[in-house]
């Protein structure tokens, strides 16, 4: 049943671009603000994140168990489909990529710089000042957006069910809300004691980000291996061998190195910081190849899941 739900969810996502009709996060924002007001959680970021995630996840698990104990198969199916659709990434990523590729084809780098900012999960403007720099930045941000949008959610949904998929999305939304709250307060230059406390809370390391990294650790390595199979395997597997057990490297960096390897970009000059430096101003044309590589990898995983279902 999980495989059928995944196929329907991917079909709905691809046909609609974005899922605003079901991805309504107002309840998450209210829940996040309510927990922030509790004195018992104010001094413990980890406890606050744990309560923020575990209460909805446990509630979902209890509902699924209750429905599953009776003759409510269709209700379980619809509930899990709704949860999976909710847990997929936000925004119309296909439309954003299409706009970026259109600007690249027109050689409108100024517009391309502006468009590339939407792929940055940290809500920061693009820092690149050249076509090569823009490609390097996109190689670090676009793969992660594609990864967190569907692959990691589908991975955990298939193997451990809807509650863990919901846990992942709640952790991702927690980081977004922290960043957005800090940006709004700083832009408005509010100086109230409570506002300053919120800004400082957003500035310190967020336990949700570390928990998110743990949930991404296994899926990103499976995806990196698949990227190699769908591209230049020898070039993609080299950085993966070095990072497969690394406890520190971010998910985005693992994807960046493996994507560049799969696209055979490792022959370019590498700086001391590990950034790939290309003298080819046509590098931006490979943005479409990054998307195509991920589509092939996602298709490969759907085939693998289908085989697991048929042989189980």
Q: Which two tokens stand for residue 294?
A: 């991920």
Which contacts (CB < 8 Å, 24+ apart) does range 120-125 have? Answer: 121/145, 121/148, 121/175, 121/176, 121/252, 122/179, 123/176, 123/179, 123/180, 123/183
| 146-163 mean pLDDT | 95
How far is C-alpha 297 from the geometric centre of its chain's CA atoms? Answer: 16
Report the distance separating Cα 179 and Cα 191, nearest Å: 18
How far is C-alpha 165 from the geometric centre of its chain's CA atoms? Answer: 12
Q: In 10 A of CB 208, how many CB atoms?
A: 24
Report the distance separating Cα 242 and Cα 136, nearest Å: 21
pLDDT digits (tens, 9 = 90+) for 243-279: 988 888 999 999 999 999 998 875 444 444 545 444 4
Mind giving me the DSSP string for 181-247? HHHHHHHHT---HHHHHHHHHHHSPPHHHHHHHHHHHHHHHHHHHHHHHHS-HHHHHHHHHHHTT-S
Pairing assessment for the beta strands 276-277 and 269-270 based on DSSP bridges = antiparallel
pTM of structure: 0.86
Report the distance separating Cα 168 and Cα 172, nearest Å: 6
In the chain, what are the domain boundaries?
2-311
Report the distance separating Cα 85 and Cα 12, nearest Å: 8
Contact present, 154 and 8 (Cβ < 8 Å): no
By CB neighbour count within 10 A (0-12 exposed, 13-18 middle, 19+ buried), where does 52 fall? buried
What pLDDT band is residue 125 in, cutting at 50, 70 and 90?
Answer: very low
| pLDDT given at position 69 | 86
pLDDT digits (tens, 9 = 90+) for 6-34: 999 999 998 888 888 899 999 999 998 89
Report the distance separating Cα 79 and Cα 157, nearest Å: 13
Contact present, 221 and 244 (Cβ < 8 Å): yes
Helix axes 193-203, 162-188, angle to 10 degrees: 130
| pLDDT given at position 126 | 53
Look at residue 129 and give its three-state secondary structure. coil
| 137-153 mean pLDDT | 91
Q: In 10 A of CB 5, how many CB atoms?
A: 22
Contact present, 23 and 90 (Cβ < 8 Å): yes
Which contacts (CB < 8 Å, 24+ apart) does range 246-252 have? Answer: 250/213, 251/144, 251/147, 251/213, 251/216, 251/217, 251/220, 252/121, 252/140, 252/141, 252/143, 252/144
What pLDDT band is residue 121 in, cutting at 50, 70 and 90?
Answer: low
| 64-89 mean pLDDT | 93
Residue count of the chain, please give it. Answer: 312
Look at residue 253 and give its three-state secondary structure. helix
75 pLDDT higher than 90 = yes
Contact present, 84 and 165 (Cβ < 8 Å): yes
């Amino acid at each position: 049943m999980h495989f059928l739900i995944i196929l329907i969810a991917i079909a709905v996502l691809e046909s609609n671009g974005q899922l605003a009709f079901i991805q309504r996060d107002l309840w998450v924002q209210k829940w996040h603000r309510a927990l922030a007001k509790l004195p018992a959680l104010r001094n413990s970021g980890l406890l606050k994140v744990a309560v923020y995630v575990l209460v909805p996840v446990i509630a979902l698990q209890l509902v699924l168990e209750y429905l599953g104990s009776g003759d409510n198969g269709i209700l379980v199916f619809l509930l899990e489909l709704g949860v999976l659709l909710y847990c997929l990434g936000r925004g119309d990523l296909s439309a954003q990529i299409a706009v970026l590729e259109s600007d690249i084809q027109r050689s409108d780098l100024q517009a391309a710089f502006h468009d590339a900012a939407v792929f940055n999960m940290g809500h920061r403007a693009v820092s690149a000042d050249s076509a090569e720099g823009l490609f390097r930045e996109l190689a670090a941000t676009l793969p992660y957006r594609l990864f967190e949008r569907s692959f990691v959610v589908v991975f955990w949904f298939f193997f451990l069910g809807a509650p863990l998929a919901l846990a992942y999305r709640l952790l991702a939304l927690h980081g977004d809300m922290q960043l957005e709250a800090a940006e709004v307060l700083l832009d408005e230059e509010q100086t109230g004691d409570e506002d300053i406390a919120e800004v400082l809370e957003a500035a310190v390391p967020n336990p949700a980000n570390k928990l998110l990294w743990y949930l991404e650790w296994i899926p990103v390595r499976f995806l990196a291996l698949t990227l190699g199979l769908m591209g230049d395997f020898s070039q993609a597997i080299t950085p993966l061998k070095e990072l497969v057990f690394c406890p520190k490297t971010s998910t985005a960096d693992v994807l960046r190195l493996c994507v560049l390897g799969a696209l055979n970009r490792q022959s370019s000059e590498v700086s001391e910081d590990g950034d790939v430096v290309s003298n080819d101003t046509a590098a931006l044309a490979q943005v479409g190849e990054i998307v195509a590589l991920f589509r092939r990898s996602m298709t490969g995983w759907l085939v693998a899941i289908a085989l697991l279902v048929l042989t189980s």
